[in-house]
Amino acid sequence: MWNNVTILFDEYMGTGLIIILYLMSLIYLWVKEKRNYVRILFIYVPVILLFFFFNPFFAGVLYKLAEGEIYYRILWLLPVTVTIAFAVVTLYGRLPDKNRTVFALAAAAGIALSGSYIYRNPYFQKAENFYHVPDSVVHICDAIVVPGREVQAVFPLELVQYIRQYEPTICMPYGREMTVDRWNNWGELPGEMEKEIINLSRLAPLAKEEGCHYIILSEEKTIVGNPSEYNWEEFGRTDGYVIYRDFDFSLDIG
């Protein structure tokens, strides 16, 4: 348990520089701050919380009650941002006027260098539309949606996490759960869908088993087999994807 907690804390700290700034701020406030109510919230409580966080007995109980992987959220109770900002501003106020600007700029630069600019995170990208899902998702969903009923469609893995955010009337035989390796949900259908060479004699029966009205494949995939043999027809092409309609399954309303 102790190992789990220390690994989690280590991951939470990142480079550890911001946490060092936080600890320095705590020590500074411990020495300089006289108001008891501020000391309680910004010094005593964080110390007690850290004691709880690193307590193996407490961690053991919480790991059992909740998911272990969200144990780090206890650290959200530490008011890191407010404490550092308050300590910096307090120190700034104690300096002679002529040194203040230099100190503020140095502190800002120190924080910036210790942390990591959030918009540089590789998961951030320019939104393609007001829905914040890829344009391809919007175009495919708008093409296959049938007002008044749900449709079943199978998509390449790179699209599955966005489809039902944008259009909840489109159902899928599998979704985001397939993209998380540690959940071990991998199945035959995604296995066939993700192959570089798609063999329709294997994919079509699996898609039919799931009652898919539409099958969406990347245009880059090589397809072996004749779609019409499986009662599939090309429904359209958009954004590098080809949409097949399986006419074995009706889309009548009611």
Residue 170: half-sphere exposure toward Cβ, Cα within 13 Å: 26
Considering the complex, what minimum distance in angstroms separates the CB of residue 162 from another protein?
7
* Tokens 């949409």 sit on residue: 243
Per CB under 8 A, which of residues 94..133 are in contact with another protein?
A: 104, 107-108, 111-112, 114-121, 123-128, 130-133
Question: Of 248, 211, 214, which Cα lies nearest the Cα of 229?
Answer: 248
230 touching another protein, by CB under 8 A: no
**Minimal distance in Å, beta carbon 211 to another protein?**
11
Nearest distance from C-beta of residue 37 to another protein, angstroms: 4
Using CA atoms, how far residue 64 sits from 21, 55, 60, 73, in Å, is 33, 14, 6, 15
Instruction: Establish if 149 lies at the interface with another protein (CB under 8 A).
Output: no
Pick 160 or 198: Cβ nearer another protein: 160
Q: How far apart are CA 240 and CA 218, in angstroms?
A: 6
CB of 33 to another protein, least distance (A): 9
* Residue placing its CB nearer to another protein in the complex, 28 or 131: 131
The answer to whether 207 contacts another protein (rule: CB under 8 A) is: no
Long-range contacts: 160-166, Cβ < 8 Å, 24+? 162/133, 162/134, 162/137, 163/137, 165/131, 165/133, 166/131, 166/133, 166/137, 166/138, 166/141
Tokens 């914040």 label which residue? 132
Q: Which of 216, 221, 183, 218 is nearest to 199 (CA)?
A: 221
In the bound complex, what is the minimum distance in angstroms from residue 178's beta carbon to another protein? 9
**Least Å distance between CB 228 and another protein?**
28
162 binds another protein (CB under 8 A): yes
Tokens for 234, please give them: 């090309």
Q: Does 84 bind another protein (CB under 8 A)?
A: yes
x/- site string to another protein, residues 2 to 41, per CB under 8 A?
---------xxxxx-xx----------------xxxx-xx
Nearer to another protein among residue 88 and residue 242 (C-beta): 88
Assess contact for 75 and 12: CB atoms under 8 A.
Answer: yes
- Which member of 157, 171, 217, 223 binds another protein (CB under 8 A)? 171
